[in-house]
């Protein structure tokens, strides 16, 4: 019974139609650094709390029956950051994956990675592979974690693979369709997100899911990611449910 997931006193849940949820929600996990700075803490402290927030929101998405949650955790541009910040993010990722390997079976949350992982340490790549193997046995909400991910890089990577298939005689340029090209992306087989949430207040995509978000509803909130709560998720879903999605047509 879906109503069991929220208290009657929570008016934000009351605004959501739980029978008409998006199948796929994407979130740009932004605002960790500002969250820390406002508390006089190093930026890395924000990343630590942000990782906990991800756990809470991913579990809640599973509870309410969201099929796919795709999160932007580290972009192809984030390598420009100070080395100690990048190192801390990678250490947090390792800790997250180690814990996930222990808990994902119990929690029935599947993990999938999008992005070029080949530049990560061998250890991180092996942990990601273990998560993938466990996920193959599970049925719950699929969390796509985007690491070293860029929308443009994803499209170039897909184009290269298609060109290779053409050179090998497996594919033909004149037969390429949008649906066919979709199958070369990291997100192959996953429906486009209906809703993209950006905490931290910025009004841009920052190179996230450029292909997949062609008709996705965008929701930006000033709330910083470490503070993002189930109530904020309710607000975003309620806003999405109030949108008039026309897909270029008329009503």
How many CA atoms lie within 13 Å of 157's alpha carbon, on the beta-carbon side? Answer: 20
Helix (H, G, I), strand (E, B) or coil at 92: helix
Which 3-state string (H, E, C) describes 125-192? HHHHHHHHHHHCCCCCCEEEEEEEECHHHHHHHHHHHHHHHHHCCCCCHHHCCHHHHHCCCCCCCCCC
CB of 6 to ligand IPE, least distance (A): 27
Helix (H, G, I), strand (E, B) or coil at 237: helix
Between residues 6 and 228, which has the closer beta carbon with respect to Mg ion? 228
Which entry of 10, 63, 67, 78 is annotated as an active-site residue? 78
Contacts of 181 (CB under 8 A, 6+ apart): 158, 162
Q: Which stretch binds Mg ion (CB under 5 A): 4-12, 24-32, 86-94, 147-155?
A: 24-32
Partner from ligand IPE, Mg ion, none binding residue 202, C-beta < 5-8 Å depending on class: ligand IPE
Give the binding site for ligand IPE (CB under 6 A). 28-34, 72-75, 78, 89, 200, 202, 204, 206
Between residues 22 and 33, which has the closer beta carbon with respect to ligand IPE? 33
Partner from Mg ion, ligand IPE, none binding residue 226, C-beta < 5-8 Å depending on class: none
Between residues 22 and 200, which has the closer beta carbon with respect to ligand IPE? 200
Work out which of 30, 154, 217, 232 binds Mg ion, going by CB under 5 A. Answer: 30
Determine the distance from the C-alpha atom of residue 199 to the mean position of all C-alpha atoms in its chain, rounded to a whole number: 13
Say how many C-beta atoms besides its own lie within 10 A of residue 185's C-beta.
Answer: 19
**148 classed as catalytic:** no
**144 classed as catalytic:** no
Total number of residues shown for the chain:
251
The residues in 120-149 that bind Mg ion, with binding defined as CB under 5 A, are none
Q: Which stretch binds Mg ion (CB under 5 A): 28-36, 48-56, 82-90, 148-156?
A: 28-36
Return residues touching Mg ion (CB under 5 A).
Answer: 30
Which are the catalytic amino acids? 30, 78
């Amino acid at each position: 019974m879906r109503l069991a997931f929220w208290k009657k006193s929570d008016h934000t849940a009351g605004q959501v139609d739980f029978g008409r949820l998006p199948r796929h929600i994407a979130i740009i996990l932004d605002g960790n650094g500002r969250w820390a700075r406002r508390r006089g803490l190093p930026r890395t402290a924000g990343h630590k709390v942000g990782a906990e927030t991800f756990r809470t929101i991913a579990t809640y998405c599973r509870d309410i029956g969201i099929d796919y949650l795709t999160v932007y955790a580290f972009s192809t541009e984030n390598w420009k950051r100070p080395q100690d910040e990048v190192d801390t993010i990678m250490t947090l990722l390792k800790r997250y994956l180690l814990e996930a390997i222990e808990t994902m079976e119990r929690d029935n949350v599947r993990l999938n990675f999008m992005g070029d992982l080949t530049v990560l340490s061998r250890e991180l790549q092996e942990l990601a592979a273990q998560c993938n193997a466990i996920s193959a046995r599970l049925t719950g909400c699929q969390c796509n974690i985007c690491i070293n991910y860029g929308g443009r890089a994803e499209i170039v990577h897909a184009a290269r693979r298609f060109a290779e298939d053409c050179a090998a005689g497996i594919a033909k340029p004149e037969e390429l369709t949008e649906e066919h090209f979709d199958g070369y992306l990291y997100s192959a087989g996953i429906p486009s997100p209906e809703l993209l949430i950006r905490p931290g207040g910025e009004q841009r995509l920052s190179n996230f899911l450029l292909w997949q978000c062609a008709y996705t509803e965008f929701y930006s909130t000033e709330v910083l990611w470490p503070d993002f709560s189930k109530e904020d998720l309710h607000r975003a879903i309620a806003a999405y449910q109030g949108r008039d999605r026309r897909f270029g047509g008329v009503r």
